[in-house]
Amino acid sequence: MTEAKAEDRGTGAGTILLAFLVGAAAGAAVALLYAPAPGRETRERLSERAREGARRAGDAARAGRDVIDAIKDVYEQATSGEPA
């Protein structure tokens, strides 16, 4: 497999995850907008959910970077020819 194809596959997974998170946030926002609640309460709930979604997305991004870094370390160690 060429390096360009390997990079495309990684980008695709990240894009799919991002699309899923954006879709989930949009669905939650629509559900809250159609829920019978006063406007101020709805805006507060939307704001709270947006902050929670941003926190979770940040956590997922950090976890993904950690996994990628670990994979890079294993790859570098395996290709360096040095014993573990």
Q: Looking at mean pLDDT, say which of 1-5, 19-23, 78-82 comes out highest.
A: 19-23
Locus of tokens 């040095």: 82
Pairwise CA distance, residues 39 & 46, whole Å = 10
Vertex 63 angle, CA 47 and 12, to 5°: 90
Residue 83 — very low, low, confident or very high, per pLDDT cuts 50/70/90?
low
Residue 46 phi/psi, 5-degree rounding, is -60, -45
Q: What is the pLDDT of residues 8-39, one digit of tens each?
A: 555 677 777 778 888 888 888 787 777 776 77
* 3-class state of residue 60 by DSSP: helix
The full set of domain ranges for the chain reads 3-80
